[in-house]
Structures are given as structure tokens and as C-alpha cells.
Structure 1
């Protein structure tokens, strides 16, 4: 490092130290939007939180600590066990924020940072809640009753977080993972249930078709029986008379010129005089 470079580095360092001194000695502190401030006097916190804006403080004696009250999110994974002792790998996601009204309590009881709240409160509370609820359900129920499981975890987790000034905005069960053998058993059971339902649908369809054919055959038999009942002797006589009338209407009035019988055939001349 040459002399000119060292001189520039020294000036920059002095500038940084001077800026920090000005900030430290400044008689005011700024709280940005989405945060709350807690002032300590020689390390002792005052029982009030400060809204976003500029606030006066006593230089050196007082320090403004910032606490994030914006909605934050996080994901976590962990191991748990079901009621029937199946090993479960869980993955969850949560949205949360620090209650602005509880900033001072959180600062004094947990720590001067929301990161500390995550490490000390949120992560342990989430793991404990998930384990406690999954232990109430069998592995199969964790799948078929997923919404009920999620709601039970939310109730338990909200209570644990509220004790420390944290509000749970949203909780999601991203995934439940089981052992390979158990997952295959579930798939086989689901497949067998699907085949059973298909067989039941086919049987129901066949029963409906058979009933339809039976109804059709019954209707046809009833129609034939009705027709037989309607054929009376009077109806037969009427039909015979109608047939005879039709035959007469078709005759042209000329007798046959040749007749046959037991006697020799005779030629009949219709124009012969009597």
C-alpha cells in the first residue's frame, strides 16, 4: 500500500467514525414506517413504544431500538409421529407479525430483535404445535382430514404466539411425507377403493339395464294380452263380412267359361240363344 492509498483509507475511516459519532450524539432518532421504537435510558427500557417518525432523545444516555411490526413469512420442516406411530416429515409455512401494542413487552421479555422472536418463540412453538396435533390423528387421517388437522394446529399455535405479543396471520401445511412402504400401502388402498367403486357402478348400470328390459317385456306382454281380449266373436263375424264384401266388389259379373267336376267338361257359349 503506497502513501496516497493509505492516506485515502485513513480519511474514509475517519469519515465513517465521524458519521457514527454524529448519529450517536444526535439529539433525535428516526423510526421508519413499518417499525416501532423502544427507547432505553442507560439500558433500561421505558414502558412506551414510539410510532414512525422523528423522536427526541438524550444523546449518549438514551438509545432507540427498532422492532419490525410488518407481516413476515417463514417456512420450516420437522419430524413428527402419527397416532398409529408412523414417522411423518412435515413442511409448513406461516405469516406473522409483532403486535404493535406489545412491542415493549416483546422487547423486555424476549429480546431487542424480531429475529430473536423467530428463534426463541416461533420456531419452537410451530414444531411443538405440529407434533402435538399430528399425534391425535392416524397417518391416513392426516391425509383425509387435512383441513381439520391444519385448523387444530392454528388454534394451538396462535395461543402460544399470543403469549409473547406475536400474531399469526396465516398457516399452511405444505406437505406431509411418509415412509416409502407406507406411501405404497396408501396408494394400493386408494387403487383398490377406486376399483371397488367402478365395479359398484358397473353392477348398478347392469341392474338398471336389466330392469329396463324387464319393464319393456312386461309392457309388450300386456299389449298382446290386451289385443287378445279385444278379439270377440262379433269382431270375427264383422271381419268375415268385410272380407266377403271386398270379394264381391272385385267380381266383374262374368261366370267362368270352363267348369270342372264329376261330369265331362262342356263348352258354354254365353251368346247362344235359349
Structure 2
């Protein structure tokens, strides 16, 4: 009976020692830091990743996530031209290891809801109020960068760092959307009219140029024809001589002598004359 009691006692002691041993060891996972709390008091010492020893029952280690986290927020604001703007933003952020203990002590583990969310709302409203609704659309990238910078300045003092800020969407009132659509339609119509006008001008210029080319070609053809005729006439004139002219005159003569023949007559034909004497003798 006594041995049984000693065995039970030894087992209890062993169990207690085992619990104490396990309670004296803590493991900080990757991407986290361990905030040591001793009897409710937060220590400035922050544990790195890995295995550490702590005082059982007296100390506890709170794990603070130092990985990049993401949050999405919907915000309502007003633009510079008093248009209602509904914004959807996405933020990547993380807390630094050095600020983990201070964040846990002063803000708590819900720091995203306590500090980050209100800062996002404030930054979005402050920046969108500096732009017109149309500028928020056309300068979306610049607006996003400015909101991200404003937000970073607000939360960095708490040890919260903004890694990336994105504007997911901008939504406006139905009236503003209709006005934007009408403006786009008007601009498209204007662009179409200008394009058609330019096309007409180009076609008119092309037609005029074609006419000039045709006129120049026609004039050039007439000039070449005249030059060819002149050259042919020169060759003909050069080839003509008195014999050719005489032949042409004889060829064209109808066999009749002119009633009047001048010394300047150009028709000179040698006509054989029969011997009249012989003719008379025969009679």
C-alpha cells in the first residue's frame, strides 16, 4: 500500500515536472515576434522566431504577426466639385518587430480595426477632396499614390508600415455617370466630324493634284506632238529640191497650157514639136 502511494506521488511529481518543462518553453513561429508579458506587465524584450524559455505560470508570450497582411475598405467621400465618391481600396501592410510590444501594449491585437481602418478613411477623404470627380478618373494612379503616402504618414508612427495601396474602384452618382457618358459621346462625335472633314480635305487635295497631273501630262503630250511635227517638217523641207518640186508640178498638171504664161511661170514642160516641114511636103 505504501509503495502504491509512493508510485502515485512519483507519477504526480513527474507530471508536474513535465507540465513545468513544457510551460517553460515557447516557440515563436516564422513571420512572428513574441511579446513577453510577466504577471500582466508587457516587457520591452521581444522574442525572435524559434524556441525560447520563459518562467512557467509567471510569463506568457503573445504572438504578433509581422507578415504582410491585406485589408480592403469601402469609403464614401466628396470630390472638390462636390460629387459623391464611393471608393474601394486595398492595402497591404505589416507591423515591425521593434514596434510589436508597443502596439500590443498601447493598441492591442486589434490594431487594424483600431488604428488602420480609421486612418484609411481619413486619408481617402482628405485626398479626394483635392480633386474633381473627372480628375479622380483621369489621374487615378496619382491619386492612389497620394492617398497611400498620406496613409503611410498617419500610421507609421504606430509602427504600421504600408507596403502597397491600390484603388480598387471609384463609383459616382448616376447623374454624374450620365454626364460623363454624354461628354464622351459628344467628344466622339466631334472627333468623328473632324476625321471626316480631314478625309474630305485629303480627297479634295488628291483630286486637285490628279487634275494638275493630268493637265501637265496633256500639255506635255501636245508639246511632244508639236515638236515631232516640227521635226518631221524640217526633215521634209530638207529633203525637197528643185527636181522633186518639178516632178510634183508635172504630176499635178492637167495637160492644158495656161492662157497666159509669164516668165515667172513655174510650169516649164518640154513638149516635143513635130517637123512641120515634113508634114507639109507630104501634103
Q: Same fold (TM over 0.5)?
A: yes
* Cα RMSD for the two superposed structures: 3.6
Structure 1: distance between partners of 2:183 and 2:21: 68
In terms of mean alpha carbon deviation, does 216-225 or 89-98 score higher?
Answer: 216-225
TM-score, normalisation: structure 2: 0.72
Q: CA deviation at 1:63?
A: 1.4
Tell me what 1:39 maps to.
Answer: 36
Q: CA deviation at 1:64?
A: 0.8
Structure 1: distance between partners of 2:146 and 2:20: 48
Which of 99, 104, 126 lines up with 2:101 in the alignment?
104
Number of residue pairs the alignment of both structures matches? 236
Tell me what 2:90 maps to.
Answer: 93
Structure 2: distance between partners of 1:88 and 1:205: 41
Q: Which runs of 4+ in 1 moved over 6 A?
A: none
Structure 1 gap segments, 5+ residues each: 1-17, 244-260, 262-274
Structure 1: distance between partners of 2:167 and 2:91: 9
Task: Please state if 1:207 is matched with 2:201.
Answer: yes
Task: Please state if 1:59 is matched with 2:53.
Answer: no
Instruction: Say if 2:20 and 2:56, in contact at 8 Å, map to a contact too.
Output: no
Query: Match of 2:206, SS?
Result: helix
Instruction: Say if 2:75 and 2:88, in contact at 8 Å, map to a contact too.
Output: yes
Instruction: Say if 1:28 and 1:57, in contact at 8 Å, map to a contact too.
Output: yes
TM-score, normalisation: structure 1: 0.75
CA radius of gyration, larger in: 2
Instruction: Say if 1:39 and 1:65, in contact at 8 Å, map to a contact too.
Output: yes
Tell me what 1:250 maps to.
Answer: none
Structure 2: distance between partners of 1:197 and 1:102: 57
Q: CA deviation at 1:235?
A: 3.9
Structure 2: distance between partners of 1:130 and 1:237: 90
Structure 1: distance between partners of 2:156 and 2:75: 22
Q: CA deviation at 1:39?
A: 0.5
Q: CA deviation at 1:190?
A: 0.8
Query: Match of 2:104, SS?
Result: helix
Q: CA deviation at 1:60?
A: 2.0
In terms of mean alpha carbon deviation, does 27-36 or 73-82 score higher?
Answer: 27-36
Tell me what 2:12 maps to.
Answer: none
Per-residue CA shift, 1:180-200, capped at 9, x if unaligned? 111111111111111111111
Query: Match of 1:88, SS?
Result: strand
Q: CA deviation at 1:228?
A: 3.9
